[in-house]
Structure 1
Amino acid sequence: MAEGMEPIEVRFRLFDGTDIGPNGHDPSTTVAALKEFVLARWPQGKEVAPESVNDVKLISAGRVLENNTTLAESRLPVGEVAGSAITMHVIVRPPQSVKTEKKKVSKSPKQNRCGCTIL
């Protein structure tokens, strides 16, 4: 950890309302490393579970965080209470089904069928 920089307490809120953490992380930790942390501590027995880092999105203060940014770059100091944990929401991409994969392969032209009526 860098000298003079305090760890940032982060809590990861899963889709069902359960939490992982809070745990202290170095401000220079990347979002990709945070995703790996979440994967390593994912609760057993959950119906939905990510298979890789690419299946996870972290949202903080309404923003989807990019893998190459650091925790220090991602946080918004406005509205934070000293000594409190930052809550990041964890979104898991649902597994691709065979039906959706076939739909992507289909090359049929799309037809716009708008049913809107403007009065």
Structure 2
Amino acid sequence: MAGGREAIEVRFRLFDGTDIGPSGLDPSTTVAALKEFVLARWPQDKEVVPRTVNDVTLISSGRILENNRTLAESQFPAGEVPGGVLTMHVVVRTHQADKSEKQLSKAPKQNRCGCTIL
């Protein structure tokens, strides 16, 4: 706990409804460090597993959190409950989507018209 500030209880909700935490974290912890925290504690039995912190997006109170911001800066009054647990949703970008995007970008471009004449 830096500067005498109390730890913030944070729970990370995964895409399938399971949770990592809650854990007491220092308010000065950056979002990038939170992502590393999530990666280190990721359940091994999941089919979808992020490879790097770039594969993870954290959302709190409907807002995507920026890596350079701190946990204290990422709290929003609408989602705060005094003495409660802050829930952050974890979105994972899968690498299968990357492959299909690359395949689409390599495909020859075709001119098509979507007009309908009645």
1:33-90 per-position Cα deviation (integer Å, ceiling 9, x unaligned): 0000000000011010100000000000000001111111110134522111100000
Q: What CA deviation, in whole Å up to 9, does each residue of 1:5-25 have, x standing for no partner?
A: 001100000000000000011
Partner of 2:102: 101
1:46 aligned partner: 46
3-state SS of the aligned residue for 2:37? helix
SS of 2:54's equivalent in the other structure is: helix
More helix as a share of residues: 2
* TM-score for both structures, normalised by structure 1: 0.86
Structure 2 distance, partners of 1:31, 1:101, is 29
Q: Can you give the 5+ residue segments of structure 1 that lack an aligned partner in the other structure?
A: none
Please report the TM-score for the alignment, with normalisation by the length of structure 2: 0.87
CA distance in 1, matches of 2:111, 2:85: 47
1:31–1:79 distance in 2 versus 1, CA, 3 Å? closer
Q: Aligned partner of 1:70: which letter? A: T
Segments of 5+ residues of structure 2 without an aligned counterpart are none
User: For residue 113 of structure 1, what is the amino acid of its counterpart?
Assistant: G
Instruction: Report the Cα offset of residue 112 of structure 1.
Output: 5.5
Aligned residues: 115
Q: Is the 8 A contact 2:10 2:87 kept in 1?
A: yes
Q: Percent identity, aligned pairs only? A: 64
1:1-119 correspondence runs (5 A): 1-96=1-96, 98-106=99-107, 108=109, 111=112, 113=114
- Runs of 4+ that moved beyond 3 A: 96-99, 109-112
